[in-house]
Amino acid sequence: MSGVPTAWFLLLGAILFTIGAVGVLVRRNVLIVLMCVELMLNAVNLTFVALGRELNSLTGQVFVFFVIVVAAVEVAVGLAILVELNRLRQTADVDEVSELKG
């Protein structure tokens, strides 16, 4: 079972990360953008765990633990913002929002 080389996991992580990243960039629905962010985070988690195993270190898993914490918070706050955005603008389209500038 543990015969799967770490490299495959890393590669998988990279693929998932890329899909997530592209999703963040191309999708306009805030909800889906947030989901894609989760995808990216998960891809990184996978990488951490895989490397942790490769190097016989628990640090990878500890890191994943914290990432999950951050991700949970991020989702909570992000979704709250989405809800508020939807109330103010009746939209969930990131392209409709361009106030974040000087």
Partner 1 sequence: MLDSIWLVIALPVAGVLLNGLLGRHLGRAFVSVVGVGVVGAAFALGAWAMTDLAALPEAQRTFTLPLWDWITVGNLQVPLTLRADALSLWMVLVVSGVGFLIHLYSVGYMQHEDARMFARFFAYLNLFVASMLLLVLADNYLLLYVGWELVGACSYLLIGFWFHKRDEAQAPVTLMDGTQVTLPPNLNPADSGKKAFIVNRIGDFGFALGVFLIWSTFGTLNFDAVFAAAPQAPATVLSAITLLLFMGAVGKSAQLPLAVWLPDAMAGPTPVSALIHAATMVTAGVYMVARSHVLYELAPGSALVVALVGGVTALYAAAIALVQVDLKRILAYSTISQLGYMFVAVGVGAYAAGLFHLTTHAFFKALLFLAAGSVMHALHDVIDIRRMGGLWRKMPLTGLTFLVGALALAGFPLTSGFFSKDEILLKAFQFSPGLWVLGLATALLTAFYTFRALFVAFAGQPRDWPLYEKAHESPGIMTLPLVVLAMAALLGGLLGLPAVLGVPNWTADWLAPVFDTHGLEAKHGVSAATEWLLLGVSAAVALAGIALAYWFYVSRVDIPARLAVALRPAFVFLANKCYLDDLYDAVLVRSGRQLAQLLAQGLDKAAIDGIIDGTARLLARGGAWLTQFEDGHIPHYALGMFVGALLLVVYLVVR
Partner 2 sequence: MVLFWVVAAVAVLAAGGVVLNRNAIYSALSLLVNFTMLAVLYLLLNAQFIAMVQVIVYAGAVVVLFVFVEMLLGATGRIQVTGWLTPRLIVAAVAGFLLLSTVGSVVYESAIGGMRGNATPEMLAQAGQVQVLGITLYTDYLLAVQLAGVLMLVGLVGALQLGQQWQRGRTSQTTKSTLPLRSTESASAGTSHTPVSESGG
List of residues contacting partner 1 (CB under 8 A): 21, 24-25, 28, 33, 94-95, 97-102
Three-state secondary-structure class, residue 4: coil
> How far apart (Å, rounded) are the C-alpha atoms in residues 78 and 33?
10
Which tokens belong to 67? 């990432």
If binding is defined by CB under 8 A, does position 90 make contact with partner 2? yes
Answer yes or no: are the C-beta atoms of 86 and 98 closer than 8 Å: no
Q: Which of residues 3-62 bind partner 2 (CB under 8 A)?
A: 3-4, 7-12, 14-23, 25-32, 34-36, 38-39, 42, 45-46, 49-53, 55-59, 61-62
Q: Is residue 88 a contact residue for partner 2 (CB under 8 A)? A: yes
- Cβ closer to partner 1: 3 or 102? 102
The alpha carbon dihedral of 31, 79, 25, 42 has a sign of negative
